[in-house]
Amino acid sequence: MAELQRYKAVISYDGSAFSGFQIQPNGRTIQAELEKALAKMHKSEIVKIVGSGRTDAGVHAKGQVIHFDSPLQISVEQWKKGLNALLSDDLVIMDIEKISSDFHARFDASHKTYKYRVYTQKTRDPFRHHFATHYPFSLDLDQVKLAANHLVGTYDFTSFCSAKAEVLNKVRTVSEIKVENKGDEVIFTITGNGFLHNMVRIIVGTLLEVGSGKRKASDMLGILQGRDRQLAGKTAPPQGLYLWQVEYNG
Amino acid sequence: MAELQRYKAVISYDGSAFSGFQIQPNGRTIQAELEKALAKMHKSEIVKIVGSGRTDAGVHAKGQVIHFDSPLQISVEQWKKGLNALLSDDLVIMDIEKISSDFHARFDASHKTYKYRVYTQKTRDPFRHHFATHYPFSLDLDQVKLAANHLVGTYDFTSFCSAKAEVLNKVRTVSEIKVENKGDEVIFTITGNGFLHNMVRIIVGTLLEVGSGKRKASDMLGILQGRDRQLAGKTAPPQGLYLWQVEYNG
């Protein structure tokens, strides 16, 4: 058996028709589709992949990162071409490279960036129903930005985490929240060293409530301090969310 | 029973999850969804709609036009709101107005405009798999434009019509074919007084073969004159096609 080489790949997917990233008994998932394609390239042998983290059903990725090991001696161009020919139209390998065997897609990730797309026009757009969230209210972006600034820093984000989450340490560092108008959309760009389950969607849901006047920007402090999911706003729907970029040290 | 009022509506749809416009025994169609919504607004009475023409499975519409008659005395704002609340996310009423009872969405249409989106980058884009056609070849747009010019005018378009089509008179007038680069896409915009079945898709398929060097621009004349579907290029896939606008006289 040839020596194993570790590969790092950047993948992109339209999450609309997936039941999320992680393999599960029923439902089509990113991990299962990738491992199915890899098995085809390895004479049906199982090759496991490791992602930088999960994404939920309906959530997209522009730059998710995975790693896997393989004994196949083919070029990275052949990997990309071969895998993309086996994958369906909504999942693609953007980039693949050889990497040291101590690289780990999840443990070594130093920063992640998510984007969230919202459009506010009155009439919903049938071409964006899977790709952006329709929020037909006028938004006070200055207030949204003020509120967002309260969330930048190192805090216990329990209030912005799905109550089902089992992780114990809920302290995370959010290094930047950008809120910008682009065409008829409001784009949220959130970068941090790690995110709790539903954290970006709860942050966006809460910020939208500030923008439409249901909450005040200064409420953010109390929400953080209360450490109670009930205090924050609704979880924004999955279709507006994109895992945009995963960064690694070095 | 109140008098019937005729309404003209502009509708927009993502055709990805539809089996086309026209009602059929099996499969979800635009017409069926609209008539189901209208029935709900009319105490289950059947209200038929008439479209400007059909679109095939997977083909989109930005500005399809329909008409229907109703005895309901509600404002056009209430029509729009009511129908949009009943319709699913991939189908929307953009605009609705009262119109004279002799207006006919199909017979009175004087011009139609279609757009066709193609992207040529090497790696396919998972976010466009339903919305544009991936054609990963370099295109000589000057040759494409030359070829397109040969098709502008009044001709027998038998060669650019699905061989299955049952219509007898295949003479149509194409008044304009625009070919433009927009970002990383090539957009075809084709306007005419009427189109045969698959005509836009066969024109685009043939023009793409010119662009990639498989045919010459000057071949168009012989293809038109031959009146034989075999002479033209492949039918371009449905997902790149948009019924963009339907115009009426007066």
**What band does B164 get if pLDDT is binned at 50, 70 and 90?**
confident
Q: Do B64 and B138 sit in the same domain of this protein?
A: no
Q: A243 with A126, same domain?
A: yes
Residue matched to tokens 């008539």: B35
Q: Give the type of residue at A51.
A: G
Residue B1: predicted pLDDT: 58
Same domain? A92 vs A214: no
A14:B90 CB<8 A: no
pLDDT tier, A159 (very low <50, low <70, confident <90, very high otherwise): very high
CA distance A178 to A180: 6
CA distance between the termini of chain B: 31
Interchain contact B92–A (C-beta under 8 A): yes
B114 assigned binding-site residue: yes
- Per-residue pLDDT at B168: 86
Question: Measured in whole angstroms, how far is the alpha carbon of residue B122 from the centre of its chain?
Answer: 27
Shared domain for A193 and A227, answered yes or no, is yes
Helix then strand then coil, % of chain A, to nearest 5 = 30, 30, 40
Do A118 and A42 have their domain in common?
A: no
| Closest CA of chain A from B199, distance in Å | 24
pLDDT tens for each residue of B220-250: 999 999 999 999 999 999 999 999 999 998 7
- Tell me, yes or no, whether A105 lies in a domain: no
**Residue that terminates a domain, selected from A51, A74, A99:** A99
Distance CA A135, CA A213 (A): 13
Structure token digits, residue A224: 């953080």
Q: Give a yes or no: residue B105 inside a domain.
A: no
User: Does residue A2 register a pLDDT over 80?
Assistant: no
Q: In terms of domains, do A119 and A236 share one?
A: yes
Q: State the Cα–Cα distance between residues B97 and B106, nearest whole angstrom.
A: 17
Complex ipTM: 0.90
Of A196, A197, A193, the closest CA to residue A248 belongs to A193
Residue B90 lies in a domain: yes
- Looking at the fold, whether A66 and A164 belong to one and the same domain comes out as no
**Residues A64 and A127 both lie in one domain:** no
Quickly state the pLDDT bin for A1 (edges 50, 70, 90).
low
Judge if A78 and A154 occupy the same domain. no
Beta strands of chain B (E only): which ranges? 5-13, 50-51, 60-70, 91-99, 109-119, 133-134, 153-156, 171-182, 185-192, 241-248
The structural domain count of chain B equals 2
Question: Do A17 and A139 reside in the same domain of the chain?
Answer: no
Catalytic annotation, residues of B = 56
Can you give the length of chain A in residues?
Answer: 250
% of chain A at pLDDT higher than 70:
100
* Residue A62 counted as domain residue: yes
B76 reaches A (C-beta below 8 A): no
Residues B111-152: pLDDT tens digits? 999 999 999 999 999 999 999 999 999 999 999 999 999 999
CA distance B110 to A106: 59
Residues whose CB falls within 8 Å of the CB of residue A178, separated by 6 or more in sequence, listed in order: A187, A188, A189, A190
Q: Which of A34, A68, A99 is the last residue of a domain?
A: A99
| Residue B60 near chain A (CB below 8 Å) | yes
Return the pLDDT at B2: 72
d(CA A57, CA A63): 16
Taking the CA of residue A130 and the nearest CA in chain B, the distance in Å comes to: 9
Residue A18 contacts residue A57 (beta carbons within 8 Å): yes
Nearest chain B alpha carbon to A126: B90
> What tokens were used for B136?
């990963």
Of B12, B60, B126, the CB nearest to A90: B126
Distance from CA of B94 to the nearest CA of A (A): 7
Are the C-beta atoms of B159 and B224 separated by less than 8 Å? yes
**Is the distance from CB of B15 to CB of B96 less than 8 angstroms?**
no
Over residues A212-226, mean pLDDT:
97
Confidence of residue A157 (pLDDT cuts 50, 70, 90): very high
**Candidates B59, B129, B244, partner chain A, best to mutate (most A CBs within 10 A):** B129
B23 and B117 in a single domain? The answer is no
Last residue of a domain, one of B45, B77, B99: B99
Token pair for residue B132? 């544009």
How many Cβ atoms sit within 10 Å of the Cβ of residue B63? Answer: 18
The CA-based diameter of chain A, rounded to the nearest angstrom, is 64
Q: Is residue B127 part of a domain?
A: yes
Angle between helices B30-41 and B76-86 (to 10 degrees): 120
CATH of the domain at B215: 3.30.70.660
A148 is in which domain, residue-wise? 110-248
Quickly count: other Cβ atoms within 10 Å of residue A242's Cβ: 27
A104 is a domain residue: no
Contact status, residue A223 vs residue A214, Cβ threshold 8 Å: no
CATH at A25: 3.30.70.580
Q: Do B125 and A92 touch (CB under 8 A)?
A: yes
CA distances from B201 to B9, B142, B176 (A): 26, 20, 15
Q: What percent of chain A has pLDDT over 90?
A: 95
Helices (H) and strands (E) in chain B, counts: 5, 10
* pLDDT bracket for residue B166 (50, 70, 90): confident
Most B CBs within 10 A among A30, A129, A243, hence the mutation to make, goes to: A129
Q: Please write the tens of the pLDDT for every residue from A51-102.
A: 999 999 999 999 999 999 999 999 999 999 999 999 999 999 999 999 999 9
Interior angle at CA B188, CA B186 and CA B192, nearest 5: 175
What are the tens digits of pLDDT across the range A5-53? 999 999 999 999 999 999 999 899 999 999 999 999 999 999 999 999 9
Query: Domain check: are B125 and B223 in the same one?
Result: yes
Whether the pLDDT of residue B175 is over 90: the answer is yes
Is the Cβ pair B91, A126 closer than 8 Å?
Answer: yes
Per-residue pLDDT of A59-70, as tens digits, reads: 999 999 999 999
The pair of three-digit structure tokens given for residue A155, joined into one six-digit string = 């805090």
Chain B partners within 8 Å of A90 (Cβ): 126, 129
Residues of B within 8 A of A84 (CB-CB) are 123-124
pLDDT tens-digit series, residues B50-104: 999 999 999 999 999 999 999 999 999 999 999 999 999 999 999 999 999 999 9
- Which of B60, B123, B125, B243 should be substituted to probe chain A, the one whose Cβ sees the most A Cβ atoms within 10 Å? B123
B24 located within any domain: yes
Single-letter code of the amino acid located at A213: G
* Amino acid residing at B26: N
Question: Which residues in chain B have their CB less than 8 angstroms from residue A123's CB?
Answer: 80, 84, 92, 94
